[in-house]
């Protein structure tokens, strides 16, 4: 599968791949990607069934990791820094644990290697309930989601998936039916019992988020023994958007750690 991507600049610098979360896209990472291009050559990918990437019936971590592998081969990249948020963090964990020699460092944002509940299920149901053929405006879509999703900022995030098709009608960029159906699969841990990544690893968490708990730290360190775990205060699950300055600073600090190897 040929994934769509955004290039954020930094030609000639060490390559960094950004993988977004569920129902996100590389578009959500434009500001962060441009900031990080001061240190890296930055590529933001759209995962399968998201953004401008192709749709497919499969959403296994093996398939998504294979998509990433194909992208790296297509770009001639070997030895990359890998950053993933939420679902993208799970894909990044899976890829790093199975491709140690291709990942120079790993940054995982507000997700842990464990099973989760069915987050986003109500969101998918609300999005699927909108009659796109009769939809007249984005405002009407926002109003249709409001009863189920009272948080305005979260609705705007979901509505980044609402686009105009070639004939002018509204459609979802993300593959809503498949993603909804595959929630049971993608809520699970991306790692097997024997999976390990021993390279330099940073786990970034949000103080106000419940996605990574203190008791998760032990299992994180089991799978990723060379790990720094850092919490960013006053932010939730989308910490890269809520406090971009602290997010970039945490990555800069991580890159200055003496790991005994070049990263």
Q: What is the pTM of this model?
A: 0.95
Q: Is the pLDDT of residue 262 over 80?
A: no
pLDDT tens-digit series, residues 129-184:
999 999 999 999 999 999 999 999 999 999 999 999 877 889 999 999 999 999 99
* All residues at 6 or more sequence positions from 250 whose CB lies less than 8 Å from its CB, including other chains: 202, 204, 230, 232
pLDDT of amino acid 260:
52
Give the C-alpha separation, 126 to 148, whole Å: 7
Instruction: Kindly tell me if the per-residue pLDDT of 227 is higher than 80.
Output: yes
pLDDT at 77 over 60: yes
**Which pLDDT belongs to residue 48?**
98
Q: What is the pLDDT of residues 93-132, one digit of tens each?
A: 999 999 999 999 999 999 999 999 888 899 999 999 999 9
Which residues 6+ apart lie within 8 Å of 22 measured at CB?
86, 87, 119, 120, 179, 186
Q: Is there a contact between 68 and 19 (Cβ–Cβ < 8 Å)?
A: yes
CA 218 – CA 225 distance, rounded (Å): 10
């Amino acid at each position: 599968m040929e994934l769509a991507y955004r290039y954020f600049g930094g030609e000639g610098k060490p390559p960094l791949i950004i993988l977004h979360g569920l129902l996100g896209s590389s578009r959500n990472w434009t500001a962060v990607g441009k900031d990080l291009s001061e240190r890296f050559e930055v590529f933001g990918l759209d995962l399968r069934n998201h953004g401008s990437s192709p749709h497919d019936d499969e959403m296994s971590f093996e398939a998504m990791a294979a998509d990433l592998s194909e992208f790296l081969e297509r770009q001639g990249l070997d030895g990359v820094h890998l950053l993933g948020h939420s679902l993208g963090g799970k894909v990044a964990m899976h890829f790093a644990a199975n491709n140690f020699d291709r990942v120079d460092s790993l940054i995982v944002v507000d997700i842990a290697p464990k099973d989760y509940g069915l987050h986003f299920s109500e969101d998918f149901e609300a999005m699927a309930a909108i009659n796109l053929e009769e939809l007249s405006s984005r405002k009407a879509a926002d109003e249709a989601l409001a009863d189920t999703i009272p948080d305005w900022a979260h609705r705007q995030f979901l509505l980044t998936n609402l686009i105009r098709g070639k004939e002018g009608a509204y459609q979802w960029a993300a593959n809503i039916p498949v993603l909804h159906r595959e929630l049971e699969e993608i809520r699970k841990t991306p790692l097997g019992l024997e999976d390990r990544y021993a390279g330099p690893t940073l786990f970034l968490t949000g103080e106000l988020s419940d996605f990574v708990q203190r008791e998760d730290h032990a299992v994180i360190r089991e799978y990723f023994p060379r790990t720094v775990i850092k919490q960013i205060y006053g932010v939730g699950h989308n910490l890269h958007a809520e406090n971009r300055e602290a997010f970039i600073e945490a990555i800069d600090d991580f890159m200055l750690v003496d790991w005994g190897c070049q990263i």
